[in-house]
Amino acid sequence: MNSSTAFVSFETKSISQYVLSPTIISLVLITCTIALAVYLGQNLGARPHVNEPPFISSKLPYIGHTIGIWKHKMSYYTILSAKYRHDVFTLPMFGGRLYIVTAPSLVAPIQRHYKALSFWFLEGAFTVKLGALSNQSAKILLENAAGREIGNSLVVDGMKETHAAMAAGLEQMTQVAVDIVASQINGIKTEVGEKLDLWAWLERNVALMTSGAVYGPTNPYLDPELLQGLKSFSEESTMLLIGFLPSVLAPKGYAGREKIVKGFKKYFAAGGPKHGSQLIRARFHSLTEYGISLEDISRFEAVNGFGILINTIPTAFWSVYHVFSDANLLATVRELVQPLLNITKTDNGDPLFTIDIRQIKEIPLLVSILHEVLRYHASGAAARMVMEDFTLEGKYLFKKDSMLLIPNREIHSHGETWGENVGDFDAFRFIKNTTSSKKPPSGAFRGFGSGVNLCPGKNFATAEILALIAMMVLRFDITPVLGTWAYPGDNNKNMSTVICSPDAPVPVEVRLRQGRELGTWVFKATS
């Protein structure tokens, strides 16, 4: 290489590095947006209709709230709602309005009008953006996505198939999930006590049991890089949704998604669904029927990782954490699940521990713990698209093409709804007829959504998490390495989940309980 070429290539490289630096791009974007916002604020101004929910303006027109959301994430709505105390309010934003609903009593009416205030429309639009679907698939997916017209709708048909498959395949999926976790945990060496991070340990095991139950023996998430990829994908999902220079401004999320897509392309090409759950077979069937390519089906599935794994893992973690970190609760739970355990002998004379989880959801305290976990650690928001000018409860006008958000943490920490102990973790809160808490109005518990948008994975996730708790309390003693249980705090920065993950590792020592040192553990989930 001569010196002039070297000089040119050095110059080119440094200029492109300079121009493409995410910091510089962000600064240029922010400066332009501020200038535009100030201009628009001065010259156009937002014009609220008298019936719209109260407008909350920001010092910086149009982008002030965007910056607020960027800075505070989901806590931004808490800050505003504590300051203004409206049941519902409007944030004028660049490109439209955002309505924020904080009153639990409004959730059920919103859910009833699921065609005018549509989750499905957003689900389709988000899948297109997040998965970076081809234009052809985007067109198919967005056609009648809200299901407002008679005729084909991939989103609605796909959802019906999903619900049917989850109902019909529930027992079988649960059996596969618990078999996986049993075999993982059977391998654990705990003769002398094993020190580990409870969060990392459960993250891996719950991901494997849940994804294994959905995808079957050739589950792409067996590759740990894919789970890591899904985490980055979900953490940077906001930037990927914006879709501007995603590989530069959300490099980890972008790379994570592409890794998952590659894994799923291999899985589908090799006929993976044939050996998987009814759910993946149904989904594969409806997408191919609608003419979606293999590449885009893989992109769909990368986005579906959010629904399947991103909420299930922290829900399982917090459930186990709360049970083990409260000695009285642990003793009560052990007593309640003990009758599910049957001890016999294997052919070689070792103990065989069988936990029958078929009726586990009939133990009210276990279900209450799981629901309280979803209430107490709530994050994220239910989002709805306003499909037409719509007046809710004869009172609040929502303008067409705006977005409506129901922040879960607001709804779950509403004092009048949940009673004086709203700020406490009350494991017994959701048990009917207990006096410890008030009965919340319909729709106030957002853990699994409600109405037509009720989570189709609810029964499966509940069964596998309760089974996991049962096995862990019957089999292990878990103690904090530091001597006392330190609360790891809530990380609510990820806007794509409905539950926070812990904000710090939770170092624990796991030991087999006395009398449980030997033997194999199995579950019975099917009749």
Residues near ligand HEM, by CB under 6 A: 119-120, 123, 159, 162, 210, 214, 279, 307-308, 311-312, 315, 374, 382, 446-449, 453, 455-457, 460-461, 498-499
Query: How far apart are alpha carbons 338 and 77 in whole angstroms?
Result: 43
CB of residue 158 to ligand HEM, shortest distance in Å? 9
CB of residue 101 to ligand HEM, shortest distance in Å? 12
Q: How many CA atoms lie within 13 A of 350 on its CB side?
A: 10
CB of residue 145 to ligand HEM, shortest distance in Å? 10
Of the pair 397, 452, the CB lying nearest ligand HEM is at 452
Pairing of strands 396-398, 351-356: unpaired
Per-residue DSSP letter, 439: P
Distances in Å between the Cα of 423 and the Cα atoms of 26, 149, 159, 327, 443 are: 38, 44, 35, 20, 19
Of the pair 131, 457, the CB lying nearest ligand HEM is at 457
CB of residue 260 to ligand HEM, shortest distance in Å? 16
Tokens standing for residue 464? 């596998």
Per-residue DSSP letter, 307: I
Query: How far apart are alpha carbons 303 and 199 in whole angstroms?
Result: 23
Cβ pair 385, 103 in contact under 8 A: no
Of the pair 177, 329, the CB lying nearest ligand HEM is at 177
All residues at 6 or more sequence positions from 416 whose CB lies less than 8 Å from its CB, including other chains: none
CB of residue 193 to ligand HEM, shortest distance in Å? 29
CB of residue 461 to ligand HEM, shortest distance in Å? 4
DSSP annotation string for 120-137: HHHHHHHHHHHHT--HHH
Of the pair 66, 210, the CB lying nearest ligand HEM is at 210
Main-chain dihedrals φ then ψ at residue 478, nearest 5 degrees: -125, 125
Query: Is 455 annotated as belonging to a binding site?
Result: yes
Tokens standing for residue 116? 């005018």
CB of residue 454 to ligand HEM, shortest distance in Å? 7
- Token pair 């709360």 is at which residue? 322
Of the pair 253, 407, the CB lying nearest ligand HEM is at 407
SS3 490: strand
Q: Give which of 497, 376, 418, 444 is closest to 110, Cα–Cα.
A: 444
Of the pair 81, 118, the CB lying nearest ligand HEM is at 118
CB of residue 464 to ligand HEM, shortest distance in Å? 8
Cβ pair 317, 181 in contact under 8 A: no
CB of residue 47 to ligand HEM, shortest distance in Å? 29
Angle between helices 327-337 and 364-376 (to 10 degrees): 140
Of the pair 385, 510, the CB lying nearest ligand HEM is at 385
Tokens standing for residue 246? 């995603």
Main-chain dihedrals φ then ψ at residue 59, nearest 5 degrees: -60, -40
Query: How far apart are alpha carbons 21 and 375 in whole angstroms?
Result: 41
Of the pair 437, 450, the CB lying nearest ligand HEM is at 450
Cβ pair 309, 204 in contact under 8 A: no
Question: Shortest Cβ contact with ligand HEM: which residue?
Answer: 457
Q: Give which of 284, 244, 282, 278 is closest to 264, Cα–Cα.
A: 284
Of the pair 172, 453, the CB lying nearest ligand HEM is at 453
Query: How far apart are alpha carbons 250 and 233 in whole angstroms?
Result: 9
All residues at 6 or more sequence positions from 149 whose CB lies less than 8 Å from its CB, including other chains: none
CB of residue 29 to ligand HEM, shortest distance in Å? 29
Of the pair 90, 319, the CB lying nearest ligand HEM is at 319
Estimate the share of the chain in helix, then strand, then coil, as percent rounded to the nearest 5: 55, 15, 30
Annotation: binding site for heme: 455
Annotation: binding site: 455
